[in-house]
Amino acid sequence: MEADESVSSALTLIGRITGTDLATDWFQARHSRIRDLDTPSYPDG
């Protein structure tokens, strides 16, 4: 099992216990960060 899958599984389990969707939040944040890294940002716009 890869680390990402392990984290996702753990967050899903915690989410079931707490009633929140941590796995989806984590997944979206991770993909958002990857997308940000793929798109160079220039301070001057």
Does residue 34 fall inside a structural domain? yes
Residue-wise pLDDT for 1-45, tens only, equals 677 788 888 888 888 888 888 878 877 887 776 666 666 666 655
> What's the pLDDT at 1?
64
Euclidean distance between CA atoms 35 and 23, whole angstroms? 18
Does residue 45 fall inside a structural domain? no
> What's the pLDDT at 31?
73
- In sequence order, which residues have a C-beta less than 8 Å from that of residue 14 and are 6 or more positions away? 20, 22
Where in the sequence is the domain holding 16, given as residue range(s)? 3-38
Q: Which two tokens stand for residue 10?
A: 């753990």
Please count the structural domains in the chain.
1
- In sequence order, which residues have a C-beta less than 8 Å from that of residue 22 and are 6 or more positions away? 11, 12, 14, 15
Using a cut of 0.95, tell me whether the model's pTM lies above it: no
- What's the first-to-final CA gap in the chain, in angstroms? 41
> What's the pLDDT at 18?
85
Does residue 44 fall inside a structural domain? no
